[in-house]
Copies of this chain bind each other. A is one copy, B any other.
């Protein structure tokens, strides 16, 4: 950030009066520009308690890798609406009975991920514009080394472990930076 989005003047990186951490502050109109973590909301779309719907990414980052449908929550929507919308946009799939399941803190990239378990309403799904391919996977078929993000791997790991007991406690965990791998 170099300029004030309110008046167009130059901003300075300094601790505002009464604050305790540096922010972008406009030297002209004195607006303080706060930056806060963003929420990524998504689903674990489950078919008949056994199969999970994954999307192969058509976009960077992690193009070609498999993910659960998820994306940035938008203004004006709820967490569940965001998760449903992303599932529809990426997998053209409708889900119901959403239950909050995993929350991951990713402080190194200023994101909080939240996944809902959900029932896939029908088999009428398809690749959305951000997906190359969308398909159902049984536990033994999950392409573990080809998953796009640690949040996706950890959520699927929890899901298949919890499925044995049929108890799905909500988890809040912090995830450390991803180790770089080459496709």
* Contacts from A to B (Cβ < 8 Å): 1-8, 11, 18, 21, 24, 33-39, 72-81, 100, 103, 105, 107-108, 110, 112, 129, 170, 172, 174
Q: What copy number does this chain have within its complex?
A: 2
Given contacts A36-B72, A37-B73, A103-B100, contact A78 B6 (CB under 8 A): no
Looking at the assembled complex, report how far the CB atom of A97 sits from the nearest CB atom of chain B, in whole angstroms. Answer: 13
- With beta carbons under 8 angstroms apart, the residue of B1, B37, B170, B172 that contacts A80 is B172
Looking at the assembled complex, report how far the CB atom of A93 sits from the nearest CB atom of chain B, in whole angstroms. Answer: 17
* Majority secondary structure, A binding face: loop
Given contacts A36-B72, A39-B37, A172-B100, contact A107 B7 (CB under 8 A): no
Cα A6 to Cα B24 with chains together (Å): 12
CB distance A34 to B170 under 8 Å?
no
CB distance B100 to A79 under 8 Å?
no
Cα A7 to Cα B78 with chains together (Å): 33
Cα A108 to Cα B78 with chains together (Å): 9
Looking at the assembled complex, report how far the CB atom of A91 sits from the nearest CB atom of chain B, in whole angstroms. Answer: 16
